[in-house]
Amino acid sequence: MPEPIRIEYVIDHLNVGGAQRHLVELFSELDRSRFRPQVSVGKPGGALVPIIERMGIPVRPIGLGTSLARPTTAQRLVETARRLRREQVTIVHGYLYLGNILGVLAGYLAGVPVRIASKRSLDRYPRRSQLLATRLANRLAHRILCNADAVRRFVLEVERPDPRKLVVIPNGIRLPMESGSAGASVKLPGQYRHLVGTVGRLTWKKAHGDFLDAARAVRRVRDDVDFVIVGDGPLRQQAERRAAELGIGGHVHFLGEIGNARTLLERFDVFVMSSIIEGMPNVLLEALAAERPVVVTCAGGMPEIVTHERTGLLVPPADPGALAAGILRLLAAPEEARRFALAGRALVEAQFSASAMRTRFIELYEQLVAGFGNHNASATGRLGDRPPTGQVAAEKAAAGH
């Protein structure tokens, strides 16, 4: 029996976030007789480290923190490359800004046969040096993996890589949904008949201010609704102050970070995402899988999941009035909300399961490894000219070059 393919995943950190939760889903599905995953992380620690280690996957800090602009970066890069070579890693797969750059560069220095970068958001680079570093990593990568077609289009526009390298593989989640864990035991104060909630890190991209403005508008019409915000982040205190200023502080419950928010989703009458920038959020898939009616903005890849008035309601970003109207509509029409919820669950089962994602990743990995054996990697890092046959939207990318 052949040795498992050793894959080094390189990521900025392992705090709770979309990319990190995606990796946990992927690791839970990979066949260990065929693949041997291991993780390098730029910043040590993080809530997901013990979860990944309990899967039998080693997690090793690189010691970069959150920046490449340090005197020790070159040394850490060389050390990582030497280890990749020593351990005979076959695939290096980067995630997020630091993980992509460090992973692809270290893999290139080590002569790793297959190098993959991953793009999962529509964030623009605040400094030109970051964009240039990203473009260098893209040139040295064999494939650039996007989790939504909106992300693919954004990468083509901003980073300008060879379009033949782009592959779209949507996120997937495990089904059936887990139950009976931490989220179910959370107790909320106050008395209410209906609960509207959102889950996400409290950063500017998630636009929690719009969620709070919508909450006030809903409360003006209905006093039987409370609101929940699950997650933590740099803007939490600002959001709490904003809720108090709007006069709804007693009806908005900030629960902080919850290890498994899936079971809490089942208690929401309506799930909301107010993001102004988004890739393809796992939590939206989880809400649909929990048969929750959803109101989300048209940001990023969310319209690739939610079809308006079929699997939920879509509203414009930065429009709290439209968000409130969508919430009120679903609360006032439970039969319609239930119809959307059932259609959303069926959609996740058909297109966004973890097993479907696993199949696409395995096909990508095995075709790239086979391609290396057949073609040998060039100095620019491209394995031939033909993208993997199973990729989503690859034909559209190739047609545009």
Domain assignment present for residue 11? The answer is yes
Beta sheet of 294-297, edge-to-edge order: 252-256, 225-230, 194-199, 270-273, 294-297, 313-315
The residue among 299, 274, 288 whose CA lies nearest residue 337 is 288
15: in domain: yes
Q: Which of 316, 332, 351 is the last residue of a domain?
A: 351
My answer on whether 166 and 187 are in the same domain is no
Residue 391 pLDDT level (bands cut at 50, 70, 90): very low
The first and second tokens of residue 294, run together, are 């959803």
* Whether residues 249 and 394 fall in one domain: no
Please check whether residues 197 and 327 belong to one and the same domain: yes
Q: How far apart are CA 326 and CA 322, in angstroms?
A: 6
Q: Is the pLDDT of residue 43 over 80?
A: yes
Task: Looking at the structure, tell me whether residues 236 and 299 fall in a common domain.
Answer: yes
DSSP 251: G
d(CA 73, CA 79): 10
pLDDT at 102: 94
Asked if the model's pLDDT at residue 26 lies above 90, the reply is yes
| Alpha carbons 105 and 120: distance in angstroms, whole number | 19
The confidence score (pLDDT) of residue 375 equals 46
Same domain membership, residue 161 and residue 94: yes
Is 358:26 a contact under the CB 8 Å cutoff?
yes
Phi first, then psi, for residue 72 (nearest 5°) are -90, 0
pLDDT tens digit string along 50-62? 999 999 999 999 9
Enumerate residues 6+ apart whose C-beta is below 8 A from 343: 310, 311
Which CATH number is 63's domain given?
A: 3.40.50.2000
Enter the pTM of the model. 0.86
Side-chain half-sphere exposure of 65, counting CA atoms within 13 A? 7
Q: Could you tell me the residue range of the domain that residue 59 belongs to?
A: 5-172+354-399
- 110 and 144 housed in the same domain: yes
**How many domains are there within the chain?**
2
CA distance 351 to 168: 13
Mean pLDDT, residues 166-190 taken together: 73
Residues 131 and 59 in one domain: yes
Chain centroid to Cα 7, Å, comes to 20
Alpha carbon distance 15, 52 (integer Å): 12
Token digits of residue 246: 């709007």
Cis before 176 (ω within 30)? yes
The answer on 149 and 17 residing in a single domain is: yes
pLDDT on residue 177? 61
DSSP string, 133-161: HHHHHHHH-SEEEESSHHHHHHHHHHT--
Tens digits of residue pLDDT in 304-323: 999 999 999 999 999 999 99
**E strand segments, 225-286:** 225-230, 252-256, 270-273
Answer yes or no: is 177 within a domain: no
Q: Are residues 221 and 105 in the same domain?
A: no
- Looking at every residue in the chain, the average pLDDT score rounds to 89
What is the token pair recorded at 310? 């079929």
Confidence of residue 385 (pLDDT cuts 50, 70, 90): very low
The stretch 56-70 carries a mean pLDDT of: 81
Residues 6 or more apart from 199 whose CB is under 8 A from it? 230, 231, 261, 264, 265, 271, 283, 287
CA distance 211 to 196: 10
Per-residue exposure over 304-331, b if at least 16 CB sit within 10 Å of its own CB, e if not: bbbeeeebbbbbebebbebbbbbbbebb
Look at residue 141 and tell me if it is in a domain: yes
Do residue 35 and residue 81 come from a single domain? yes
Q: Which residues pair with 199 in a beta bridge?
A: 230
Residues 164 and 267 both lie in one domain: no
Q: Could you give phi then psi for residue 68, rounded to 5 degrees? A: -90, -10
Do 24 and 164 belong together in one domain?
yes
